[in-house]
Amino acid sequence: MSLFSSRLTLLLRLVLVTLAGSLGLAAATVQAQTPARFADNMAERTRACMACHGDQGRAGPDGYYPRLAGKPAAYLHHQLRNFAQGRRHYELMTRLIEPLSDEYLGEMALYFSLLELPYPRPSANNVITPERLAKGQQLVTQGDASRGLPACTQCHGARLTGVQPNVPGLLGLPLDYLNAQLGAWQTGQRKALGPDCMAQVVQRIPADDLNAVSSWLARQALPANAHPAAQAPQGTPLPEALRCGSAPQLHGGKP
């Protein structure tokens, strides 16, 4: 960690100590509010989150603190549970959400999912050959039948903007974040609610091709309709081995 970012971390700790109190209080009072008041209050109460995740959850400046705005509500809720229950790790944040009820985590998830903010232009400029980028595109849009790998679009939506209510989009994410998340699934640092289909997906992609996949994704602009799709594309059924505990409806289950 650089000197700058360790200073930043120290500063954030201070901010968190002051703001965590108001976040805790929030849980008790939020229920009595009407929807408009709910949004107002949530903006106040999630200030501690925005210290890292940027104003309105638009993402931090450096590809490390992910965007929250506009991601599917159940996906965000699952992630908060994942941090609280040890399937994802970031201690500073986990400490902040540990005391909150599951219901309140769901309310924060809903709040961020409803925020509509424009996406930044894609900014990936890592060195990679056009052949490798084409390989990345092929894996994302067609998969690799010889490895039992479906196209990413089969679960993440034809436009790759995610699928309601629990599959996130893959566009508008910085290269560093994509690489970090795929790498974390590879090493077991990130897990989803089991069965963990993404762990299976990552296992089926050679390490070198993972970089091609994230490099291609991080170069794509969002389509005009950047919202998560209502449902996954119909067609080829997903392999049984790729059941997703956090997205049962991909296999015809209830969300």
Q: Which residues bind ligand HEC (CB under 6 A)?
A: 12, 16, 23, 46, 48-49, 51-53, 64-66, 68, 71, 75-76, 78-80, 88, 90, 92-93, 96-97, 108, 139-140, 150, 152, 154-156, 167-168, 170, 173, 178, 180-182, 192, 197-198, 201, 213, 238, 242, 244, 246-247, 250
Residue 115 contacts residue 108 (beta carbons within 8 Å): no
Return the number of the residue (66 or 165) whose C-beta is nearest ligand HEC.
Answer: 66
128: Cβ–Cβ under 8 A, 6 or more apart, which residues? 211, 212, 215
CB of 183 to ligand HEC, least distance (A): 10
Q: What angle do CA 183, 187, 193 make, to 5 degrees?
A: 90
Return the number of the residue (192 or 226) whose C-beta is nearest ligand HEC.
Answer: 192
* Among 153, 156, 169, residue whose Cα is nearest residue 76: 169
Return the number of the residue (37 or 76) whose C-beta is nearest ligand HEC.
Answer: 76
CB of 246 to ligand HEC, least distance (A): 3
Return the number of the residue (178 or 222) whose C-beta is nearest ligand HEC.
Answer: 178
CB of 213 to ligand HEC, least distance (A): 5
CB of 84 to ligand HEC, least distance (A): 11
CB of 205 to ligand HEC, least distance (A): 6
Return the number of the residue (16 or 175) whose C-beta is nearest ligand HEC.
Answer: 16
CB of 127 to ligand HEC, least distance (A): 20
* Cβ count within 10 A of residue 161: 23
Q: What angle do CA 133, 170, 230 make, to 5 degrees?
A: 135
Residue 245 contacts residue 195 (beta carbons within 8 Å): yes
* Among 42, 177, 60, residue whose Cα is nearest residue 114: 42
CA distance 116 to 172: 14
* Residue 4 burial (10 A CB sphere; 0-12, 13-18, 19+): exposed
CB of 130 to ligand HEC, least distance (A): 19
76: Cβ–Cβ under 8 A, 6 or more apart, which residues? 68, 108, 109, 112, 113
127: Cβ–Cβ under 8 A, 6 or more apart, which residues? none
Return the number of the residue (129 or 251) whose C-beta is nearest ligand HEC.
Answer: 251
Return the number of the residue (33 or 236) whose C-beta is nearest ligand HEC.
Answer: 236
